Structure 1
Amino acid sequence: MNINVRGKQMKITDALKDYVEKRVRKLEKYSDDFLDIQVMLSVEKERQKVEVTAPLNGFLLRGEEETDDMYSSIDLVVDKLERQMEKYRKRIGKKRIKSAKEEPSYILDDDEEIFDNNSIVKTKKFSAKLMSIDEAVMQMDLIGHNFFVFANADTEQINIVYRRKHGGYGLLEPEY
């Protein structure tokens, strides 16, 4: 497992890097082979933020936590990723996950632009992987979002699955 720890507006001490690596390595019990795991530590005012992205078997696990203490943020984000792995494992079976070294279903870039009020304040680019609707729902649940954009394997068109307010899921299919 290759863990890349970076700091944004802060210096990463050896002790902090060692702690991150020790905690993130707990994910190894769920899979034989994670791809490169990216950890971004940042400080904004008095908030300590940790973002982790971990590609696995064509899916992208992602966690983000923010507290007043960096070590607490690290603990919380690893706990969140472990819950995601448990959910993923329940969906595909109780076996230990062996990942294929392939591209994640989508890749988030840190392309961010600031605009005037009442405008788009953040832009993210991604590449959509062909997958079934069930796979898209599982990926959406794993990353903890309320929607997920993907290339539908049946139609080979871009679709969006989303979580409905009163339970269940919805699917948006564009008409051309």
Structure 2
Amino acid sequence: MEIVVVGRHTEVADRFRRHVEDKLAKVQQLAPTAQRVDVEVTHENNPRLSGVRERVELTVRAKGPVVRAEAAADDRFGALDLAMDKLAERLRRARDRRKDHRNHTVVPPVDVRPYDPSTHDAPPPPTPTAPTEPGEAVETTLGDSPVVIRQKLHTAEPMTVDDALYEMEMVGHDFFLFVDVETSRPSVAYRRRGWTYGVVALDTSCDCATPSVEKTA
């Protein structure tokens, strides 16, 4: 299993890389088909966020669905521990779901990666740069403002609402963009209060031209 550690706005020391490898050894036990784990470490320079200045995101890529977890703390070792606890719980749930699928006739998991919220229908900036390859991430500044937009491109395949909710839980997001296999419509599943969810779909076949208005005397 390949482990790739990258830092955003920070350097990652060899000591931490070795610690990551030791912690992620458990992933192979929970997900034997895991091929790669991406570890992204982000440092927040804002002193008002010192309690969560170190963020660690773990992404497990296997033959089944992508499983992701992230956490923040005042140091990256603590953030890694918190993220690993979340990841282990999601991997166990994925393993239990696979076991349940073997005992029942269900559709196998679909390899679909969720979109980053900043990529949805965002117009490309004047200077390159929208991502062109799946998994590629591009950051651009909005004009002269301090606003930074991070775009990421993912592949997608049609899936059921049930699978979309499952994928959403596996990456720990409050929403999930997907293509509904029954309607072929772009849709988004989102978390509501308690254990309720919502789904919004787009009708791309509608005629969006402004209808003519017939005047009457």
Q: TM-score range by the shorter chain?
A: 0.7 to 0.9
**Cα drift, residue 3 of structure 1:** 0.3
Aligned-residue RMSD, C-alpha? 2.6
Q: Give the equivalent residue in structure 2 for 1:105.
A: 112
Q: Which residue of 2 aligns with 1:98?
A: none
Deviation at 1:147, TM superposition (A): 1.2
Q: Secondary structure at the match of 1:105?
A: coil
Give the C-alpha shift of residue 77 in structure 1. Answer: 0.9
| Pairing 1:129–2:135 present | no
Structure 1 residues 4 and 80: alpha-carbon distance in aligned structure 2, compared to 1, 3 A threshold: same
* Pair 1:48 & 2:75 matched: no
Q: 1:24 to 1:103 in 2, by over 3 A?
A: farther
Conserved? CA contact 1:60–1:106, under 8 Å: yes
Distance (Å, rounded) in 2 between the aligned partners of 1:36 and 1:21: 12
Larger RCO: 1 or 2 (CA < 8 Å, sep 6+): 1
Give me the whole-angstrom Cα distance separating, in 2, the residues matched to 1:112 and 1:78. Answer: 27
Change in Cα spacing, 1:114 to 1:133, as seen in structure 2 (3 Å) is same
- CA distance in 2: counterparts of 1:157 and 1:57, whole angstroms: 25
Provide Cα deviations, 1:110-152, integer angstroms capped at 9, x if missing partner. Answer: 22333348x8844343222222221111001111111111122
Higher CA-based Rg: 2
Out of 179, 184, 191, the residue aligned to residue 151 of structure 1 is 179
Which among 163, 169, 175 is matched to residue 197 of structure 2? 169
Asked if the contact 1:111/1:125 (under 8 Å) is kept, the reply is: no
One-letter identity of the residue aligned with 1:62: R
Per the TM alignment, residue 16 of structure 1 is displaced from its structure 2 partner at its CA by 1.1
Partner of 2:163, secondary structure, is: helix
Identity of aligned residues (%): 26
Q: TM-score, normalised by structure 1?
A: 0.82
How far is 1:109 from its partner?
4.0
Match of 1:21 in 2: 21
Provide structure 1 residue ranges, at least 5 long, that are not aligned to the other structure. Answer: 96-101
